[in-house]
Structure 1
Amino acid sequence: MSFVIRVVFAIAAGVLMSIAAVLLLYAPYSVLRDAMASGGKIHHSLLGAVGYLIVAIALFDVAKYFFEEEVPAGRERRTAADARRGLTKFVSTIIIALFLEALVLVFETARENVAEVKYAALLVFSGCLTLVCLGLFQRLSAATEKEVGPEPNDRPEGEDMAMDAKEPPSTGPGRLA
């Protein structure tokens, strides 16, 4: 079953990269097409192209995450720190895409309909909230890793028995006596 899951992630990553490549090609094409049709007035299509490029880069980054984290064999026994780093990279990509898209939306709405800027502000707020949640996740998971210590599979061979024999059970906060 693990092989099937890795194949599905590889196919999904390949499809995402293909869509991103099409967007990377379509963005300049749309600007050139609009420039020829409108006689050089392309400010609106440039903002649209920036939006396409932002989405393309985010898709490439998500596909890269799949290829690095989900596709390789033997990655099933990851540590909590590995999972935290992978999730942080993934969510960071989403946050960057949110902020860039919000910036484009601010410029578009400021030129067309200023009353609609509230939607861009909500997008900025959601990006900020996601960033705060990522920071909270980082802090809590790092604190948990420090409190719990390395996973048993992370200790060098032979150290399990030596550490268990030397260390008496702790009765500190959060531990049962």
Structure 2
Amino acid sequence: MKQMMQIYRDNRDAVEGFLVTTISDNPRQDFDDLQVRNFFKRLPCLSDMYLMNAKGEQITPTWRRHDHDMSLKGSDRSYFINRIQFDEKGNYISNPYICANSGKPKVSVARKYPDGKIAVFDIDVVAVLSKMHLIDSNRLISKLSVGVYALLGGGLVLLALFLGVYGLVGFVKALISFGDETLQHVFKSIIGITLAIAIFDLSKTILEHEVFYRSLTPEEGNEYKTLTKFLTSIIIALSIESLMVVFKVAIDDIRNMNYAFYLISGVGILIVSMAVLNYVGRKKHKGHE
């Protein structure tokens, strides 16, 4: 959301010019069904629209792309008029806001006509940025990439769920077993659940950045954040596994403790590598400011 808002702010003049020009193409102020359909046809990013009189009373239903809402006709919207200021051409564009009904970012465009009537158009911000090619467009290669990442990311989620169930089953077996079997089931349970958490975190990162929010232009340094998040999950998982190896070696054969030392040393190298990565990432980000 922050990235999308930044894109809107960086291109605000162009976006507002596009919206005002498109809406001003039709100078008529008495909206009929044909005119409303033409507005929605010209503006795919238009979510709903309505007409008010000079006192702020809504005098039409709220038109949407495929239907309309008659319940809002006659409602008092003077609060909207009282807090806005039209330009010399009778246009006003609000700041981006989150719609209470849909939860999507929108802007409201108002146009005042000579007889005092005011038309209000609610615009979907993500849709208008996509139409102006300011964010990733719906090209075939983009759809293919999203599909592949969604399929593989979903596969990782299923694998994480399988390992999680495996770990929970091992925990149940540990509760009903005795002796050496109990410890073996405990180790297997911890390994399964830890791997499930690490794999799920990786799949969540892939789906977030390559599927659900792929259309938003990545912010500077985002690749470092993604890699750092993945490394953090791996380090946590390996740290727990190292602790399990130490306990298991201490119980079975203390002479194999060197293998546990190698694993712990590897975790330490990963921690140092992640610290260097964070340092380089912050330094590069400051260099672009």
Give the TM-score of the pair, scaled to structure 1. Answer: 0.75
Q: Shift in Å at residue 80 of structure 1?
A: 2.7
- Return the alpha-carbon distance in structure 1 between the equivalents of residues 240 and 172 of structure 2: 22
Q: Which has the higher Rg, Structure 1 or Structure 2?
A: 2
- Return the alpha-carbon distance in structure 2 between the equivalents of residues 65 and 26 of structure 1: 23
**1:115 counterpart residue number:** 255
Q: Which digits, 9 at most, give the CA deviation of each residue in 1:83-102, with x for residues without a partner?
A: 22222111111111111111
Contact kept? 2:161, 2:196, Cα under 8 Å? yes
Q: Which digits, 9 at most, give the CA deviation of each residue in 1:51-99, with x for residues without a partner?
A: 1111111111111111111212314x31232222222111111111111
Matched, 1:74 2:212: no
SS in 2 for 1:71: helix
- Return the alpha-carbon distance in structure 2 between the equivalents of residues 93 and 34 of structure 1: 26
- Return the alpha-carbon distance in structure 2 between the equivalents of residues 2 and 52 of structure 1: 35
Query: Which of the pair is proportionally richer in helix?
Result: 1
| From 134, 142, 147, the counterpart of 2:274 | 134
- Return the alpha-carbon distance in structure 2 between the equivalents of residues 34 and 99 of structure 1: 22
- Return the alpha-carbon distance in structure 1 between the equivalents of residues 252 and 271 of structure 2: 29
1:30-69 to structure 2, matched below 5 A, reads: 30-33=170-173, 39-41=177-179, 42-69=182-209
Q: Shift in Å at residue 34 of structure 1?
A: 6.1
- Return the alpha-carbon distance in structure 2 between the equivalents of residues 107 and 11 of structure 1: 38
Worse overlay, 25-34 or 59-68:
25-34
Q: Which digits, 9 at most, give the CA deviation of each residue in 1:78-129, with x for residues without a partner?
A: 1232222222111111111111111111111111111222112111111111
- Return the alpha-carbon distance in structure 1 between the equivalents of residues 223 and 208 of structure 2: 12
Q: Shift in Å at residue 31 of structure 1?
A: 4.2
Gaps of 5+ in 1: 150-177
Query: Which of the pair is proportionally richer in strand?
Result: 2
Q: Shift in Å at residue 8 of structure 1?
A: 1.3
Q: Shift in Å at residue 144 of structure 1?
A: 1.7
SS in 2 for 1:47: helix
Q: Shift in Å at residue 35 of structure 1?
A: 5.9
- Return the alpha-carbon distance in structure 1 between the equivalents of residues 170 and 281 of structure 2: 44
- Return the alpha-carbon distance in structure 2 between the equivalents of residues 82 and 119 of structure 1: 36
Matched, 1:94 2:234: yes
Gaps of 5+ in 2: 1-140
The amino acid of 1:48's aligned partner reads: K
Give the TM-score of the pair, scaled to structure 2. Answer: 0.47
Of the two structures, which has the highest relative contact order with CA contacts closer than 8 Å and spacing of 6 or more?
1
- Return the alpha-carbon distance in structure 1 between the equivalents of residues 206 and 237 of structure 2: 17
The amino acid of 1:118's aligned partner reads: N
Q: Shift in Å at residue 2 of structure 1?
A: 2.2
- Return the alpha-carbon distance in structure 2 between the equivalents of residues 96 and 108 of structure 1: 19
Q: Structure 1 vs Structure 2: percent identity of aligned residues?
A: 25
Q: Shift in Å at residue 33 of structure 1?
A: 4.1
